[in-house]
Every structure is written in C-alpha cells, then in structure tokens.
Structure 1
Amino acid sequence: MKGQPAAPASIQRRVRRLALLIGLSAVAIVLVILGLLTVHTLRYSELLHNVTTASEFNQDFKSTIDQKMYYYVIGSQYSDGLPLAEVEAAQQLARELLDTTTQRESRLAISSVLHLCENLEEKIYQIRDTESYDERQAQLENNINVITSLIQEYMYNYLYYEAVQLNALQRDMQIRLMTELVLLALATAALIWVLMRSALRIGRSITEPITRLCTRMEQIGNGDLAKHEPVPSDIFELRTLSEGFEDMAGRLNALMEETTQKQATLRRMELALLQAQINPHFLYNTMDTIIWLIEAGKNAEATQMVSDLSNFFRFSLSKGKDVITLAEEESHVRSYLQIQQARYADILRYTIDLPDRLADVRIPKLTLQPLVENALYHGIKMKRGMGHIYILGKVEGSDVVLQVTDDGAGMSEEQLHRLVDSLDRGERVGFGLSTIHERLRLLFGEGYGLTIHSREGVGTTVFVRIPRETQKEASCETCSELSGSGSPVAGGLPC
C-alpha cells in the first residue's frame, strides 16, 4: 500500500461526495415542502374554480327552466320543447362540483342540488305525460317552480360555504407560506453547514487510520500473523476494526477450519432449496379441475378444492422454515391428497395414521409429499383399477419411522436395485428420492434417510427414518451448543 499514495485521497473524495449527497438531500427536502405549498395553491385554485362555476350556473338556471316550462305548458309558439338538456347539463355540473368538493356542508348542498335536478327531471316528464291544461299549470306552480327555487337556494348555500372556506384557506396559506419559508431557509442553511463540517472532519479523522489499516492487512496477507498494537484512532469503529484485525491474525487457522464446516452448512442450504421443486403440472391440472367443477355447477367442490390448494401452498412456504413439525407435514400431505382425490376419485383412496404423540417431531419440509406424489403417479396410476395409499408412523427406540405404501404397479428387482444404488451414491435419479435421502442424512446423520421395498405388481413401500426430536428439544440443544461455545443465543430466547 505504501507505493499507492492515491488510496487515502480516494477515501477523502468519497467523504466529500457523502457531504455533497447530504446537501442535495436537504435541497430535496426543500423541494418537497415547496411541492406541498404548491398543492395548497392548487387547492385554492380548485375552490375558486368551484365558486366561479357555481356562480355561472346559478345566474340563469331558474329563469330559463321556468320560462321554457311555462311556454311548453301553455303551448306557446315560442316553446322549443322540454328543457331536458339544461337539466342534464345542470346534473353534470353538479357531479363535477361534487367530485372536487371536500367540505362537508358544501358537499351536502351540492348533493341536494343533484338530487333536486333528478327530481326536476321526473316532474318534467310528469307534465309531458299529463294532458289536462289545469293539471299542467298546477304541476308547473307546485313542482317545477318550487324545485327550481330550492335548487337556486342550495346553490346559494354552496357558494356561501365555498366562499367561507376559500377566505379561510387564503389567510391560512399566507401565514403558513411566510412562516414555513423562513423556518425552512434557516433550518436548511444550518443543517447543510453542520453536516458539511461534520463530514469533512470525519473524513480527515478516518483517512490516516484506514491507510495504516490497509498497510497492516497487506502484512497479514504476506504472512505476518504476529499480533501488533492496534492502530490508534479517536473513532470507536476504527479502533474496534484494528483490534479485530489483530485478533483475526491469531485465529486464522481456527477460522479456516470453521470455514470448512460452513461449507457443509451451505450444502445443506443448497439441498433445502430443492424442496421447492414441485411439479408445475400439478398446479395446471388442479386449476383445470377447478374450472371444470365451476363449469359443471359444482361450486361447493370447487370452493373446497381452492381451499385445499391454498392450504397446500401455505404449508409449502411454512413461513420460510426448512424444518417443521410432523403435524404440519401431515396437513400439507392431507391437502395434497384431497386435491388429487378430487381429480382421481375413481382410482385413489388414502389412509393417514400418524399418532398424536408424534405431532411435534421435527421433519424437513416436503419430505412426505414427494413420496406420496411418487406413490400416486408411479404406483397407483400405473395399474388398472382402484388403488390405496397408506401413510403410517411408529416409534422405534429413539427414532421415528414413517411409512408411505401404495398397492400400485411396484418395481422389478432390477429397477429397485438401480434405485437403491442411486440413493447410496447420491445421484439425482429416482423421482427425487435421492434429494430427500441426502437431505435427511445431512440434517440428522448417516443412520437416517430412506429405505425402499417394492414388488412388481404388488406395490411399493418407502420407509423414512428420522430421530424422535421435537422442535422444543432442538431449540434447547441449539441453546446448549451456543452457550458452551461462548456465543450468544440468537434472540435471547430461553429454552
């Protein structure tokens, strides 16, 4: 690093850019607040527009409607028909005002105008359908003239409330505008000044220690693992970083061994991702079945199938957990089988018999469901007639043995031998069974995994052996291991 003096300067440039970014952030705040003020101004303009529009509407609406209806009733030669266009225009205008009005009293007034306009339209049609001249005159006086008067009155009320709000908003905007601009200008200037000085001071304080830290790291990279005095610094983070470098030099071999162990952990994580490999055709076929049920009018069956599909994928996610309880895995498998039984009701029956005392036993997510899927597609569907899938569980010493059995087509000795060999070698064959087997062995040890028995024409049984370990016991074991290693327990949860 001594031959590269430009490195500290590069750090200083980054600090300057940080200071510039902070300044630009303050400017952005100013622009945001000015935008808010613009919104207030637009609101003021909107109110003013509403008042102007309402004033124009109110000037000649009543006189126009009354006069045209009078000419129509008396059959005057000046009559040009019913004023339905004017009423429709008034309704449209009232709707537009209602969309842009926020004050409660104003909305009530304009809503009343809209309602009266609709009533007025009905009364106009009523006069049109009345043949008696006297009845028409009575309707004109008692209905038309009264309604137009009410419309005019409510429009005056609307104008009054909007004008009051407009005046209040104008006063409030003037006061707030002056106050916010002054305070904003002072606060922004002070903020920029403080942040710029702080950023530059921090830049100077970290440049020299970081340069020395880089030199020390180059020494460690060249093999100097002797513990040196930490780099002196007034910044806590840099002092801690230097002390950590020196501790790292002394613990490098231990960390290498830890890295090797972590590779196995990463392998577990990689295998855990394989549990998401669910056949997409299952989803397509299920959706097709739901559509068929709906088209056939079997809405209750369709609803149940949607519920089962929802439960199936919810248990597949399991809130991101890789290891769940046997009860949760059972619910997942049950949802899957209920969906498949709706599709294959003529060939599929199933029995699930898992003792309640095993409900809390830990099991990797998506262990049983792929086995059940294999039993259905490669066992039951490959033979003619009704088939049955059995899911059983029992305790053997300190282990739990789960059993997935089908009375389907089964496998020949050659096929079974080839499948067992693939499990032992960890090859990606055998309908995904290798993935399940290897994941179980990585999580629980070499003595656990899958065992397969099969006879051609009789059926297949897959045994899953896992330790009889509950979620709570696993958490306590993790706590004990972490406490014994001197590491803090994540989250501070008690066992």
Structure 2
Amino acid sequence: MMRLKHKFLNLSLKNKLIIAFSCLNIVPLFTIAGVLSWLYLESNRNMILDVVVENNNQIVKNIDTSLNPLLRLSMSPVQNRDIFRIMGKDYDESAYPLLEREQDFDKVNGLIRNNMHLYTDLIDSVIVYQSKNGIIIGRSNIEYMDHRYFEREFRDEPFVRQILDKQGLYVPIGIHPEKLMSYDHAPVVSIGRAIMDPYTKESLGLIMLNISVEKLKTLWSDIHFTENTRFYLIDEQHNIIYSQHPEEIGQAADSAIGEDFASVIGEGRTTGEHQDMYFVSSISDVSNWRAITIIPKTEMFSYIYLTLKITTISLIVLLALSILIAIFIATSITRPLAVLERKMKLVSQGNLDVSMDIRYGEAGKISKTVDHMLRDIRGLIRRIYEEEKEKRHLEMLALQSQIKPHFIYNTLNVIKWMAKLQGASGIEEALSSFSSVIKFTVKTESDYVTIQEEAEFIRSYTDILSLRYLNKFDVSFDIDPQVREFYTLKFLLQPLVENAVFHGFDGIDYKGKLTISIAREANYVIMIVADNGKGVRDDEREQFESRAEADKINPIGMKNIRKRLELNYGQDYGLTIASREPCGTVATIKIPVLTSIPNESAGERYETDHRR
C-alpha cells in the first residue's frame, strides 16, 4: 500500500488529474450499473417505488426549501425598524394622516419590491395589513385592489383569523382564491404571519405572501413514471393544490382520488398498495402539505426493460466521454501552469520584460495579473528615476541661485560699519538688508527653513527693492504667530515677490501695495502674495509664469516652484495664480504643516502633522 502511495505521489500533476477524474467517473458509473442490475433482478417493484418515493420526497424538500426563505421574509415587518414603527402607528393622531399614510405606503411597497420580489421569483403577491387602523399599508399590486371585499370579507376570512390566532408563528395556508388583488380570483397558496410587538405582545397586523399554483409548479418536474401516473399536491385541509387536471384544483382530495385517499394520509411518509394502484405519499415538515403519486400496477413494469437498456448504453457512452474529458481537462490545467512556471523563472532571474501570453482560464487571470504587476514595476522604476533626476536638477538650480562666496557677506558688513561711522544711515540700512539676503542665500544646511526665517528674508529683500524703486510700493506682512515655527522650502515666496514688483508695478501711475499673508487652514499652511498692480492678460500668463529676469537674485521661475512643490509634497499641494487686468495678481501657495525638517531621502514624501 505504501509503495502505491509513493508511486502516486511521484506522478506528474497531469497524470494525477487523469487518474482522479477517471476514478471519480468510473467508480460511480460501475456502482450505478451494479446497483441497477441487482435491483432489476431482485426487486423491480421496490426500485420503481423507491424512485417514486424519492421523487415525492424531493418535491417536498423543494417546497420546504422554497418556503423557508418566505418564512424569513415574513419576519421583515418585525426586523425592519421603519416598517415595525409604521405597524404601530395611529394615523388618527397625525397632523396630516393622508400624506403620512401615502408616504408609509410607498416605504412599505419599496420593501416589498426590493427585499421580497427581488429575493425570490416564487412570490406572486404580498399583503401587509395593519390592525390599529384596519388598513392595507403595503401590497405588491398597486394597480388593483377589491376594496369591497377588503371592507366586508377580508378580516372574516378563516385564514386571516388563523394567522392572527397564531400570535406571530408562521401559518401555511392551503389553496384558496386570491380575491383582494386578483381580477379573476386566481387560486393561490400563502404563508402568513401575525406581526407582534415583542414587548407588549400586542398584535399589530399581519403579512401574507401569496404563491400562485403556476409558480409553485416550477419547484418540481412533472415526471410520468407511466402513461397514467397521477400526481397531486394536497394542502393541510385535504384540498388539491395541484393536479395534472386543472379542473380538480381546489376540490376536496377524496372526491378526486376516491375512497382510497383516506388510507394514504397517515403520519409521515407512506407507501401503500390498494386494488389496482400504488400510492406514494410524502408530507412536508414546513407546510404539512402532501405530495401523492398514484401509479397503475399494470403499467409499472413496462419501463424496467427500457430503463435497463438505456442505462447500459448511457453508461458506456459516459465512461468513454469521462476518460476523454479527464485527459482534456488535465492537459488544459497543466499546460498553462508549465508555461507560467517557465516565465516566472525568468522574472526571478531579473528579466522584468517578460510578457505572459496565457489568456484563458484561471492561469490566464494569473498571467494578466502578473503582466499588470510587471508593467507597474517597470513604470515605477522609470518614474522614480525620472523624479530623482528632475529633483536633483531642480536642487542644482536652487543651489546655483545662491551667492556662495562668503567674502561678499563679510565685505558688506565692513562697508556697513564704515557707513555707520560716517553717519550714512540710509546706506547702512540698505547694506544691512542686503547682508541679510546674502546670509539667507548662502545658508546650505538644508532646503528647509522656518516660516519666520523665510518671512525675514522676504522683509529684507523687499526693503532692497523699495530702495531700488524709490519707495514706489508699500509692503505689509500678516503672519499668523502659530505658523512661524513651521518649516517650508526655501525661496518659495521670493519669485512671487519679484514678479509682483518687476511686472505688476511696472509702468503704473499710482503707488503699489504688496501684501504677504501666511496662515494655517486645517492641516495646511496657506501663503498668499497679493499686489494691486496692473495684472496679467490671459495671453501673457504663460510668459509671466516662466519669466526670469537677468538681474534677479533668484531666477527660479514659477514653473520651477510648482515642480518643487509637487516633487517634495505631492500633487495635493501647489501654486495657484489669480490675475485679471487691471485688478492685480494674487498668488497662493498651499503646503502641508511641518513641525520639523522632514527626511530628504530620494523619492520620499513628507508627512504632515495631523494631530496639531
């Protein structure tokens, strides 16, 4: 035994599948053939009866299986909070009873339409009745209702009384005419349940789910074991729910079947022999309905020989087909897996340009997923490379914009002290501002500074510009003290101030006003540079944003600013410019709240402090 086990385990997947499929087909087929032969030789009569019993049992199981969801659906008015509230509502106490009834009617009908009719096709119609107001608050057929029947007869119907008497237990209702919502009083069977208040035990109303006989028939196949085999479905009141003869539906069973009916209605499932007939009866555990099959004795054995002949031929054909199908399925499974394994070996060796060419089956889905993954990996590698390359280029531009020689800064300090000693205060202030700009520019410890430092740099820078343009403009700062210690990239505001002064105030005949505002909004820091200059026409906007004057301290254009913001903070942050001639220009920068200098490793985005 162990040797056979080892041999089987060492077989290829293809051979294992062929053996497994063959065994799963050959064993059942030979078993069925042997059992049928033994039944034919030993108990032909019992075989047919067993088949009939099984068919009856299956019909009953189908009925029970189909009714069980309806039992759960009948609990919807209790389980649904809105519908349960409607069931206990007294519309006489409402300010607008008709409007409220209409709204509640639509709400309950929505439950019936969406939660019941879409849940199962077996339901023909649904009625939800509210006791407190004596009204129908929901029904599936909104186009027709027999109001006269409802007002005079409905509440006195035996099945309505039976449902209410059960106090919340489900009630299967046998064959009866649907008079409330049917023009022709079509015969139906129903599942009903009283809706009870679980706290007060008060009856709030009831729900009825009706099933037409035609829909109920779809739960089984109308099998004729012999030419004159008869099948009946009998309700709990011994009335016929279904018969092959439509005129018998609704009649008492003993009038259609005869006096022998009384002998086959015992408890549980029974098989009986009466005169020239075999009776097979099966009872439903859910509804207490009975499935009864009646077979004439004279016709019972005529099918035995035909069945055996057809079975033998079918077994041979199925056996041959099963072996062919086993080979085909095994091959179709193992071949794509072998190809996939070979391709994945190439990927593991570092070849990311491998293309998976499997397009069908589960292996095809895996192949498409791997193709997509490899494509994303290749794209990610290219994107990281390009981003790092561009970021380094922008950093180089930023570094090139700095005036690095420290002796310039030292020389300016000497000249400043000479001007102070000689009493030239204007020259001293100009040199002091210019020294501050140079000192900020040559600072290379990090690309990040505090907003306080950036603001002081801009203040010194605008002082120099004001001297250069002979006080042609005024500058005002509005900086929220809360943001002064937050960090930002260097040189974000300077290009905006440059463009405001050089472009916005160029050629104006009034005194310019430049406003710099910095404040926190939620988890963002908003920087605004606004001027009252001449603004920008739409056809000048592209030139304006890429403009770089030769005499600027920092020639980084606004496109460069946008790219730095995107690379360092992501696409959720950036620069926006609103300008209209002659109303001035407003430039807005949106950055995250940074309470410390972030990690500046390649490709890494900065995290904001969301807890502040």
- With the shorter chain as reference, the TM-score category is 0.3 to 0.5
What is the TM-score normalised by the length of structure 2? 0.31
TM-score by length of 1: 0.38
Which structure shows the bigger proportion of residues in strand conformation?
2
Please state which structure has a larger fraction of its residues in helix. Answer: 1
